[in-house]
Structure 1
Amino acid sequence: GAGWRCCARESSMSARDIGLVLALLGWPFACAASVEPTAEGRTSTPTDADTPKTMELHPKLAETIAAIEGDITSIPAERREPLDALADFIVAKRSAGEPARLTFICTHNSRRSHMSQLWAAVAAAHFGITGVETFSGGTESTAFNPRAVAALQRAGFEISAAQPEAENPRYQVSYSPRGPTLEAFSKTYDEAPNPSEGFAAVMTCSQADQSCPFVKGAELRVAVPYVDPKESDGTPEEAATYDARSRQIAVEMLYVFSRVAG
């Protein structure tokens, strides 16, 4: 700018001259990649701002993702369509500088909607996608089912509740040693802390999809129904059924955020 030009004219030695003098004195110059100062005075490579920063996950959770990520290619085309619409919503919100808020909705907010909310949060962290907020709710509230909680724990989430014996326990859910702790409990989809406008409503069960053809405040409504693992409750197949549903949801959320990441 003008100030720099003024200083250059007043200086008795040019930048080139200074460099020559320092070189003669043996100053250890070397060619290096260009860096740019940040607002805080630190330096970073010019491409840092464009590179997603993936979040460190709990080791077991990272192992689970590594084991299932290849299944993304096996998602049927008919299921990819609503998942692509969800990815497009996230991309558009981030491009507009707005938070992408996703509310996963099922009838009782006890199993599939919670799994979807938490796996979506993990998938976003895995791909370094910021500006995404995940929520869940039901057409009625019950409790976060302990079988679903156990399946997520087996996958590597760290989950605890101060009062697990409560009618509707409030669980603290962690997926990263460096990330946030999420609170999970059953609630209706229009109950705080769920957003009231500008969000994507993701219907995770057929019953909620049919009973809520219109979700007030939703900017996007997509149906991605999952078979209820409740059908296996009390059977020898219970754990395997819940694990399979958790895995399916995880794979599809990883697909969504792989699309967002480009």
Structure 2
Amino acid sequence: MNAVLNETIQKILTKEINQGRKAILQPLIDLIQEKVNADKPIHINFICTHNSRRSHLCQVWAQVASAFYQTQKVYCYSGGTEETALFPKVAETLAAAGIDIQVIAATSNPIYAIKYNENTMPIIGFSKKYDDSFNPQSEFTAVMTCSQANGGCPFIPGAEKRIPITYEDPKIADNTNQQDEVYQARSLEIASEMFYVFSMIKSS
């Protein structure tokens, strides 16, 4: 991980998680620990309405956190109840945090290669429905990152477990002079919670 990302991680590690959020995160911790104890792969699909902001931030930071804490066999995905596009400010926010972002297909729904370490396979980021063939079709955990998706999708086909961990949508700041600040704050909030989750996992 490069110097900028290492600096971001040090900031992440200083952020306190309150008891209410810890309780919300505990089912995901328990699920991951159960998989680690059984030496099984951990497939997590982070789901939001448009797969444009929060679900991508969760996917990327969970993958970074699993690598940081050396939790093996973790595979993170994201999806939406509909396909739109990864919002450009999300890519900019991740790049500012020290994550390498490359556009590999500049279409109306761009495809990004997202790398947090020069020697790892990139995360492929683009908007897609949660049941897209790019995502796992069975034996995965569905983490609902927004209340609309959580309420609108009572059943996720193929999911072993469904866990709501919702965040406020940073798009509330779009087209305002607070946009950068709000996106950075949401990214840091999500990152700190994903790092907390993986910090609690004990190796088998």
Structure 1 unmatched runs, 5+? 1-56
2:137 aligns to what?
A: 196
1:131 CA displacement: 0.8
Identity of aligned residues (%): 44
Counterparts in 2 of 1:109-124, with a 5 A limit?
109-124=51-66
**Alignment match, 1:61:** 5
Out of 80, 89, 105, the residue aligned to residue 138 of structure 1 is 80
TM-score by length of 2: 0.96
Do residues 206 (structure 1) and 147 (structure 2) align?
A: yes
- Read off the aligned partner of 1:65 and give its amino acid letter: I
Counterpart-to-counterpart distance in 2, 1:217 and 1:80:
27
User: C-alpha root-mean-square deviation of aligned residues, in Å?
Assistant: 1.1
Runs of 4+ in 1 over 6 A off after TM superposition: none
Equivalent residue number for residue 19 of structure 1:
none
Q: How does 1:5-20 map to 2 (within 5 A)?
A: none
1:104 is matched by which residue type in structure 2? F
1:83-162 aligned at under 5 Å gives the runs 83-162=25-104
Q: Read off the aligned partner of 1:135 and give its amino acid letter.
A: Y
Instruction: Give the aligned partner of residue 190 of structure 2.
Output: 249
Q: What is the distance in 2 between the residues matched to 1:191 and 1:68?
A: 31
Gaps of 5+ in 2: none
CA contact (8 A) 1:141 1:187 kept: yes
Q: CA deviation at 1:257?
A: 0.1
Deviation at 1:184, TM superposition (A): 0.5
Supply the AA of the counterpart residue of 1:248. E
Q: CA deviation at 1:82?
A: 2.9
Secondary structure of the residue aligned to 2:189 is helix
The size of the alignment, in residue pairs, is 203
Rg (Cα) greater in structure: 1
Q: Give the counterpart of 2:166 among 206, 225, 235.
A: 225
